[in-house]
Amino acid sequence: MLRCCALIAAGTAEALTTLTARRRIRATARRRIALSAAKDDGATLPGATYEVLHEDDDILVVDKGAGLLFVPGRQPHKHDSLISRVRSTRGDAVGVAHRLDRDTSGICVLAKTKAALRALSIQFQDRQVNKTYVGAVAGVPAAEGVIDGAIGKILTPEGYNRVALLSEAEGGRAATTAYRVLETAEHSALLELAPRTGRAHQLRVHLASIGHPLLGDALHGGAAHERLCLHSARLAFAHPATKRPVAFASDAPFDATGGPPPR
């Protein structure tokens, strides 16, 4: 079951902690790791679910479970997704302003009207949305840091498209991630992650590039685990109708070891 999440009421939301990391890490193509050719069928996993945290006339805030596709795919086995489930009860007007990977859990916001979708999309495009993730990684990195490294798609020898470090000269797009260590275990750590850009797979690629892949991230060299240890923990934005600040939070369902946190 998904862990309970907290809503910070509109108009009273405090600004999320800004990471003031002093150690900048330049991720370069020379540090590109070998990408796994492993490939599943991409469908929603059995038992994957979601929880509605907040709903009004304009937005729907959801805590998505790991393993649930965000949007449906073209193939029949990929039709089951968060969006298809929500639209089956709330209609096709529900719109998508941002996405989470299938294997990433946590907070996301959906629009219930065209006006709300436009307003939210602008905020995401203009980087006005404050996004914070929590991830469990292999090894223990420096206490805090900022990772810089352009990201783009490459074609593996097996013919798969993969997101990886790619110089801007090769078509990569600039990407920056700030992090700080929240807790440590013997061979792993729990990090707070603040993506300053919104590239696909950015957190996964950046963490792997500095030698600390997310637990469960088989594509980028992470240790085998029952799930990808990446969780969208906080999302703060201006409500598309009232323009007042709102923020939503969700506890990560894992600790520094990747296991359930102590109660």
At 186, give phi and psi (nearest 5°). -65, -40
- Where helices occur in the chain by DSSP H, the ranges are 82-90, 114-125, 202-209
- Whether 126 sits among the annotated catalytic residues: the reply is no
pLDDT below 50 — which residues of the chain? 1-22, 29-34, 36-37
Q: Which long-range contacts link 177-180 to residues 24+ away (Cβ below 8 Å)? A: 177/146, 177/147, 177/202, 177/203, 177/206, 177/207, 178/19, 178/21, 178/144, 178/145, 178/146, 178/147, 179/19, 179/21, 179/141, 179/144, 179/145, 179/146, 179/147, 179/207, 180/19, 180/21, 180/143, 180/144
Residue in 20, 64, 18, 17 with CA at minimum distance from that of residue 45: 64
Residue in 200, 184, 193, 113 with CA at minimum distance from that of residue 151: 200
| pLDDT value at residue 182 | 98
CATH number of 5-12+21-250: 3.30.2350.10
- Catalytic-role residue among 56, 58, 80, 101: 101
pTM metric for this prediction = 0.86
| pLDDT value at residue 39 | 57
Region label for 231, one of left (φ > 0), alpha (ψ between -120 and 50) or beta (otherwise): beta
| pLDDT value at residue 169 | 84
Tokens of 134: 């929590």
| pLDDT value at residue 105 | 98
| pLDDT value at residue 77 | 85
| 6-23 tens-digit pLDDT | 444 444 333 333 333 346
| 50-99 tens-digit pLDDT | 999 999 999 999 999 999 999 988 888 889 999 999 999 999 999 999 99
Per DSSP, what are the bridge partners of residue 148?
26, 176
| pLDDT value at residue 38 | 53
Q: Where are the domains of the chain?
A: 5-12+21-250
| pLDDT value at residue 76 | 86
How far is the C-alpha of 218 from the C-alpha of 87, rounded, in Å? 32
Residue 141 makes CB contacts below 8 A (sequence gap 6+) with: 179, 181, 189, 191, 210, 211, 212
